[in-house]
């Protein structure tokens, strides 16, 4: 039954989920592209459209809904100063925010609040979104295809090997954080 919904509404589901949490959903879908019978190019186009649509919604929220934000949570930078900043170097700010992903939400809201021109916003946003989505799709696909091929060739021993590698990475991270930094484990 889930396969029928995925076959008929899969791209719409991908679009909506990618708008909510893009990188994780897109990378997972690309990794499972062969299993889900999705074309990689279609995943890329849907992910690109979802990313731009989500960013445009955040821009619109910053532009039209900023008066609903309680005063204590508003942006500390005065609006004229923020507008000058986005007029002067809005493109650079948007591209860096898109590539870091962490700064995306506040930057997109601030671009709307500063009333950056919509076409200029979309152009710079597309410039930052293209490489980001391309790397996520290709990375997910390579990881999915590579791991499936390796596990298929190694059989059950491949699953054990993958589990041991994950365990070794986790132990190394714990050692680096607790032992090397001399942080007490039981405190």
- Residue at token pair 């899969």: 10
**CB-based burial, 149-162: b 16+ in 10 Å, e otherwise:** eeeeeeeeebeeee
pLDDT at 7: 57
The pair of structure tokens assigned to 116 is 């950056």
pLDDT at 180: 61
Spell out, as residue ranges, where the chain has pLDDT lower than 70.
1-8, 69-78, 146-159, 161-162, 175-187
pLDDT at 1: 38
pLDDT at 153: 64
pLDDT at 83: 80
pLDDT at 187: 46
Q: For residues 61 and 63, what is the distance between their CA atoms, to the nearest angstrom?
A: 5
């Amino acid at each position: 039954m889930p396969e029928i919904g995925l076959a008929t509404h899969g791209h719409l589901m991908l679009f909506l989920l990618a708008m909510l949490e893009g990188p994780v959903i897109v990378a997972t879908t690309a990794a499972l592209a062969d299993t889900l019978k999705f074309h990689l190019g279609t995943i890329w186009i849907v992910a690109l459209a979802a990313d731009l649509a989500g960013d445009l919604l955040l821009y619109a929220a910053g532009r039209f809904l900023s008066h609903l934000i309680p005063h204590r949570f508003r942006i500390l930078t005065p609006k004229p100063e923020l507008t000058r900043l986005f007029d002067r170097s809005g493109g650079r700010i948007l591209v860096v925010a898109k590539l870091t992903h962490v700064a995306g939400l506040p930057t997109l809201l601030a671009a709307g609040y500063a009333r950056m021109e919509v076409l200029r916003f979309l152009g710079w946003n597309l410039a930052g979104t293209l490489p980001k989505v391309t790397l996520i799709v290709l990375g997910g696909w390579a990881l999915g295809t590579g791991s499936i091929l390796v596990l298929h060739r190694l059989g059950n021993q491949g699953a054990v090997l993958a589990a041991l590698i994950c365990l070794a990475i986790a132990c190394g991270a714990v050692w680096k954080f607790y032992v090397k930094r001399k942080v007490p484990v039981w405190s």
